[in-house]
């Protein structure tokens, strides 16, 4: 069973994506009475339209996490146009602390995929509270940023999204690191297809693209939900997919003791492997900015 804690805009859209993929039974939890149950009923009726027989349930009771193999966590406040992701820290800390305690109590063998922002910090918090191994607690951020980078590059280059591979690592936030050196069109490095200035503008646009969506429609929903569903599928179907994932670093990329987005292999064991990249000086500098910002945020948080 896949559980989703937080049945709001992102949680319910993740559920919709997962119903369409039909990977496993689904369970939703929300503190708002009736909300998760209502979403489950609506989604069950949708499943009938595709003749899917997965079971979809909802509850406001955390004990119903019992039996979950993978728990996706998009519970809590989303930012408004005037906020950065890190501004959400004080608002979401207590929610994630509580959810993590309940996960530990009712689903001690489950894997946890954190979505709530600031996702790198919340992944760290969930890890500390549950005391699960790092393989089992990871966060979604870099894959979404990579989709955004791909969207920007596809429009600039006039090349199909299907012919582009893009990679963004580092902090899921102001200091993300779009890696043009590791992004390509069917093997051709994108930096060979665009001017230096064009590339710099594309990176800036990628960094701003979430804020742009939030200022236009109030929240980012479809793209994050698609990214989460891809990560869930990688785990549930043991796909061994290489996906930028927020994970506790224990020396990889020269970082110790914080969660950050890095390329990882996701499969039935959760984060099965971290792929280390040789970053050049300017990439290292940008990665280090994210590291410093997350180290500060984690340091200010009392677990
Ligand atoms: P939303 O407000 O639509 O939904 C949040 C839901 O969480 C609400 O239904 C609320 O009742 C529920 N909730 C609050 N406290 C809870 C608790 N203790 N237990 C269970 N449920 C609880 O917000 P939205 O737009 O769905 O965003 C959710 C989170 O996902 C935000 O923190 C947002 O920043 C984050 N997010 C992260 C992304 C990423 O790339 N990692 C991308 C998009 C959103």
pLDDT at 100: 98
Q: What separation in Å is there between the alpha carbon of 262 and the centre of ligand 1?
A: 23
| Dist. CA 112–CA 123, nearest whole Å | 9
Q: Which of 93, 136, 148, 172 is catalytic?
A: 172
Residue with CA at minimum distance from ligand 1 atom 15: 76
Low-confidence ranges of the chain (pLDDT < 50): none
How much distance in Å is there from the Cα of 181 to the middle of ligand 1? 33
Q: Residue 227 burial (CB < 10 Å; 0-12/13-18/19+)? A: buried
Q: How far is the CA of 11 from the centre of ligand 1 (A)?
A: 7
Within a 13 Å sphere around the CA of 129, how many CA atoms are in the beta-carbon half? Answer: 23
For CA atoms 261, 265, 268, 271, the dihedral sign is negative
The pocket around ligand 1, CB under 6 angstroms, is made up of 5-11, 29-32, 35, 74-79, 88, 92, 95, 98-99, 115-117, 119, 140-141, 144, 172, 219-220, 224
CATH class for the domain made up of 2-139: alpha beta
Task: Quote the strand ranges of the chain, DSSP E.
Answer: 2-5, 26-29, 56-59, 70-73, 111-114, 137-139, 164-165, 168-169, 177-178, 184-185, 188-189, 241-250, 256-267, 270-274
Which residue ranges does the chain devote to CATH 3.90.110.10?
Answer: 142-299
Gap from CA of 10 to ligand 1 centroid (Å) = 7
Classify residue 301 by burial, with Cβ atoms within 10 Å: 0-12, 13-18, 19+: middle
What is residue 303's predicted lDDT score, i.e. its pLDDT? Answer: 65
Q: How far apart are CA 58 and CA 39, in angstroms?
A: 7
> How far, in Å, from the CA of 74 to the mean position of ligand 1?
4
Distance 251 CA to ligand 1 centre (A): 31
Question: What pLDDT is recorded for position 82?
Answer: 86
Q: Is the separation of the CB atoms in 26 and 4 below 8 Å?
A: yes
Token look-up 């914080």 returns 258
Best residue among 3, 4, 5, 6 to mutate for probing ligand 1, ranked by most atoms within 8 Å of CB: 6
Q: Which of helix, strand or coil describes residue 108?
A: coil
What is the C-alpha to C-alpha distance for residues 211 and 223, in angstroms, rounded to an integer? 13
The per-residue pLDDT for 83 is 86
Domain with CATH 3.40.50.720 in the chain: 2-139
Confidence at residue 301, expressed as pLDDT on a 0 to 100 scale: 84
Query: Which of 74, 80, 83, 140 should be mutated for ligand 1, with most atoms under 8 A from CB?
Result: 74
Among the atoms of ligand 1, which is closest to the Cα of residue 75?
7
Closest atom of ligand 1 to CA, residue 95: 18
CA of 18 to the centre of ligand 1 (A): 17
Options 3.40.640.10, 3.90.1300.10, 3.90.110.10, 3.40.50.720; CATH for 142-299 is 3.90.110.10
The 8-class DSSP code of residue 170 comes to B
256 is a catalytic site residue:
no
Taking the CA of residue 144 as reference, the ligand 1 atom at the shortest distance is 40
Contacts of residue 271, Cβ cutoff 8 Å, sequence gap at least 6: 134, 135, 136, 138, 245, 247, 264, 265
Kindly state the helix (H) or strand (E) to which residue 283 belongs, with its residue range.
helix 281-299
């Amino acid at each position: 069973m896949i559980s989703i804690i937080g049945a709001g805009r992102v949680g319910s859209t993740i559920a919709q994506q997962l119903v369409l993929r039909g990977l496993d039974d689904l369970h939703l939890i929300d503190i708002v009475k009736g909300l998760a149950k209502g979403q489950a009923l609506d989604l069950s009726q949708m499943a009938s339209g595709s003749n899917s027989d997965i079971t979809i349930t909802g509850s406001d009771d955390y004990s119903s996490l019992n039996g979950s193999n993978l728990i996706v966590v998009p519970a809590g406040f989303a930012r408004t146009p005037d906020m950065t992701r890190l501004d959400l820290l004080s608002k979401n800390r207590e929610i994630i602390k509580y959810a993590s305690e309940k996960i530990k109590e009712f689903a001690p063998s489950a894997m946890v995929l954190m979505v709530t922002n600031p996702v790198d910090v919340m992944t760290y918090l969930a890890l500390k509270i549950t005391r699960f191994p790092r393989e089992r607690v990871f966060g979604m951020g870099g894959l979404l940023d990579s989709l955004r980078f791909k969207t920007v590059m596809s429009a600039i280059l006039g090349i199909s999204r299907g012919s582009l591979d893009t990679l963004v690592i580092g902090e899921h936030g102001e200091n993300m690191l779009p890696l043009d050196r590791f992004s390509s069109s069917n093997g051709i490095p994108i930096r060979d297809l665009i001017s230096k200035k064009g590339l710099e503008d594309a990176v800036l646009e990628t960094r701003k693209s979430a804020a742009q969506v939030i200022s236009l429609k109030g929240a980012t929903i479809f793209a994050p939900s698609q990214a989460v569903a891809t990560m869930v599928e990688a785990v549930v179907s043991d796909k061994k997919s290489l996906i930028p994932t927020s994970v506790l670093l224990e020396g990889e990329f020269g970082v110790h003791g914080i969660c950050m987005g890095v390329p990882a292999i996701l499969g039935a064991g959760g984060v099965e492997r971290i792929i280390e990249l040789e970053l050049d000086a300017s990439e290292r500098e940008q990665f280090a900015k994210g590291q410093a910002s997350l180290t500060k945020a984690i340091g200010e948080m009392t677990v």
